Amino acid sequence: MTSKGIKPKIETQGMDISVDCVVFGFDNDQLKVLLIEQKQPIDTSIKTQKAVPGDLVMDNESLDEAAARILKELTSLKGIYLKQFFAFGDPNRVRGLKDQQWLRTFRVNPERRVLTVGYYSLVKLSEFKPKAANFAGNAYWVDVYNIPSLAFDHNEIVHKALLMLRHELMADHIGFELLPEKFTLSQLQKLYEIILDKKLDKRNFRKNILRTETLTPLKEKQQGVLHKPAQLFKRKLK
Amino acid sequence: MTSKGIKPKIETQGMDISVDCVVFGFDNDQLKVLLIEQKQPIDTSIKTQKAVPGDLVMDNESLDEAAARILKELTSLKGIYLKQFFAFGDPNRVRGLKDQQWLRTFRVNPERRVLTVGYYSLVKLSEFKPKAANFAGNAYWVDVYNIPSLAFDHNEIVHKALLMLRHELMADHIGFELLPEKFTLSQLQKLYEIILDKKLDKRNFRKNILRTETLTPLKEKQQGVLHKPAQLFKRKLK
């Protein structure tokens, strides 16, 4: 039944939805991202690839539920706050030759179009030790500025997540929680420099960060340094 | 073929993907959102609903292409920059009774799960005159603070888009392009107040907006006002 002036109904073949999780890990002087190595299929002629942890969303599962489940199934990590950041919908994003070979081993409908919803997170590197399971043959942290070629469109997904992280850092001043409770402005500047991947001018950085009014200066100074201990700051509670 | 230690393959029923477009329109003293009224099916016992313009993504279409196509098909509006902001993935988001009745008329697979990707935009109200077509029976602007009950999860989608708009206004100072090229700080404050839906303190607003360094003060003053013409500003080019 169609009404006059209405285009014919669109008939789609049916698609799949997946989630992919970009987990950034920070410590004092490096920013890493969590990758898996796909498990080797029994057919050893099929090449495995590196990827961010991701899988299909089940029929009755919400996106947030799927993200938490999949990250845990593949890397054993749990209790990580994952935030949705972008939907990647290129019709051919899983149709590369290597991708299709691997999918034919692990998916019932490998040829289906898959839209993936990207999630990301920023955690303290030292607090999360990944351990591979399910179809992950390995799970490990890799320097975010030295990422190898990844499966599907995962290089693009990591890149977009990094841009989002930088935007949140500049706009919302996230990232304090990666520092000790009391920190110096030098520590904070270093965190910004590593995530933004550029040197910042010390005077401008201090001026700009102080006028965001997100920091409380403390009367305490750094302990255990030989010369000119720096002032400590805390994040201001809103 | 499954490898040891790997969970059985997930078999999904196949889903659909749609896009929904939240177009905000601003003029000097109001913020509106573009809605459609669904076209009346031949079976007049089926009730139509109001909704934001949205439809299924075709098999070989990207999300951005779909958003532009669908907005144009339903409302005749084109040349609007649409930005993806969130994927809505509740498994039951199209399974309401009224939603299902209407979908059975217009969709080949009305019972399928549909993930929708939300797009939004902010335009000058005066420059876009919607004209309903395809399965839109009507298309019109509605006050954003007085939105009726909408189909599917469209009230949630509009609400989330509004939060995103507010966040972009505060973080990135979008919105200048909705003002004349040269504007007063009072005009800018009014724009903020309408989008944020709250009164702002004049002194704090001026102090905060000036220190973002996004404005260039001009030597000109307002024309055609009787008392104390205000200084004019321009957006600073980056």
Q: From residue B76, how far is each of A5, B70, B129, B138 by CA, in Å?
A: 14, 9, 8, 11
From the CA of A229, how many Å to the nearest CA of chain B?
31
Q: Per the domain annotation, does A218 fall within a domain?
A: yes
What CATH number should be reported for the domain holding residue B182?
1.10.10.10
For residues A166 and A209, membership in a common domain is answered with no
What's the pLDDT score for residue B1?
Answer: 40
B114-124 and B16-27 strand pairing: parallel
In this model, does residue A61 exceed pLDDT 70? Answer: yes
Helix (H) or strand (E) holding A21: strand A16-27
- Do A147 and A66 lie in one domain? The reply is yes
Q: Is residue B231 part of a domain?
A: yes
- Domain contains B165: no
Domain boundary pick from B103, B135, B160: B160
Among the candidates B103, B131, B160, a domain finishes at B160
The closest of A88, A90, A51, A56 to A70, measured between CA atoms, is: A56
Residue of B nearest to A168 (CA): B171
To which residue do tokens 């031949």 refer? B42
Interface of B with A in 9-48 (CB under 8 A): 9-17, 39-43
Which residues span the domain enclosing B213? 176-235
Residues B28 and B140 in one domain: yes
**Are A75 and A156 members of one domain?**
yes
pLDDT tens-digit readout, B75-111: 999 999 999 999 999 999 999 999 999 999 888 999 9
Q: Chain A within 8 Å of B83 (Cβ-Cβ)?
A: no
The closest of A87, A233, A159, A111 to B57, measured between CA atoms, is A87
Top pLDDT among B110 and B224 is at B110
Domain final residue, candidates A171, A193, A211? A171
What secondary structure does DSSP assign to B12-45, as a single string?
Answer: ---BEEEEEEEEEEEETTEEEEEEEEEPPPSSTT
Nearest to A80 by CA among A53, A60, A114: A53
Nearest CA in chain A to B13: A59
Reported pTM: 0.91
Q: Tell me whether B86 touches chain A (CB under 8 Å).
A: yes
**Is the sign of the CA dihedral A54, A56, A58, A62 positive or negative?**
positive
Model confidence at A76: pLDDT above 80: yes
B153 with B51, same domain? yes
Q: Is the pLDDT of residue A39 over 90?
A: no
- Regarding whether A187 and A114 lie in a shared domain, the answer is no
Residue B183 — pLDDT band, cuts 50, 70, 90?
Answer: very high
Total domains present in chain B: 2
Residues B199 and B86 in one domain: no
User: Is the Cβ of A73 closer than 8 Å to some Cβ of chain B?
Assistant: yes
Do A111 and A21 lie in one domain? The reply is yes
In a domain, B9, yes or no: no
Phi, psi of B80 (to 5 degrees): -100, 130
CATH code at position A91: 3.90.79.10
H helices, E strands: number in chain B: 5, 9
Same domain, A186 and A129: no
B58 and B152 part of one domain: yes
C-beta atoms of B10 and A42 within 8 A: no
Q: Do B40 and B88 fall into the same domain?
A: yes
Give the burial class of A180: count Cβ atoms within 10 A of its Cβ; 0-12 exposed, 13-18 middle, 19 or more buried.
exposed
Query: In the predicted model, is pLDDT for residue A29 greater than 50?
Result: yes
